[in-house]
Amino acid sequence: MSDSHPPAVLFERRPDHVALVTLNRPAARNAVNGDVARALDAIIKQTEADDDIWAVVLTGCGSQAFCAGADLKEVSAGRSKDLWTEGGGFAGFVFAERSKPWIAAVNGPALAGGTEIVLACDLVVAVPSASFGLPEVKRALTAAAGGLFRLPRVLPRQIALEMILTGEPISAERANQLGMVNRLVPAERLLDEAMALAARITVNAPVAVRESLRVARRANDLPDAELRAMTEQSSLRVRASDDFKEGPLAFIEKRAPKWTGR
């Protein structure tokens, strides 16, 4: 691809079985267009199929924004459908089936669809200049990419409703105080902190991590009886893995386990 048309999304393998994914449209505040949606959709499929990738960090290029949501130029041109994929929903991401943990490394404001992308991730590291908001009602729109039901799950109901109904954002500092953000760090440490958090995950048995995440993601959606059944199924899958044998053996032999992810 020529220098005048760089990839809309960058993909990089990092140590410790971690992949780094970067929204790469800084001139457009990393807004989502069709190229971003198709690229993220493909990257999710790639990371899911790759047994050597156990966690993914998602960030934005530059310091102006993590993601400004939908590219309004695309919307105005009648290409809104291009911003969604069949399997992933908005940005090819927000409704995608993902078994591996994703960490949002929020390098600036995440608004509208940008906040919805963050909400679709599992953990969040952010810089103080970041902010989160669903301003759709200011333009006679609704946050259709998961924000209306995911935001009240991660924030106190009254705070989430105020954000949804007024369209006003909150700062990363307040989001951190309210539990939406796991780490609030200086900009120069953002990726290091996100990678360190990912490494703290990938030091664990990958199958156990994926199965634990599978149940935990549904904790607010299902009654206890269904969650118990899911937990039992996940436990059986973990017990059937090679790593289930490796964990106790490494403990007995007083060494670090050598996980295979199988």
Residue 86 a catalytic site member: no
Distance CA 19, CA 34 (A): 22
Do the beta carbons of residue 149 and residue 212 sit within 8 Å? no
Do the beta carbons of residue 21 and residue 105 sit within 8 Å? no
6 Cβ contact partners less than 8 Å away, ≥ 6 residues apart: 24
Instruction: Give the other-Cβ count within 10 Å of 135's Cβ.
Output: 18
Closest C-alpha among 91, 108, 106 to residue 147: 91
Distance CA 234, CA 103 (A): 22
Given 74, 116, 193, 211, which residue is catalytic? 116
Instruction: Give the other-Cβ count within 10 Å of 216's Cβ.
Output: 13
Residue 136 a catalytic site member: yes
Given 74, 136, 193, 211, which residue is catalytic? 136
According to DSSP, the β-strands at 9-14 and 18-23 are antiparallel
At 2, list the tokens. Answer: 């020529």
Distance CA 17, CA 180 (A): 25
The set of catalytic residues is: 116, 136
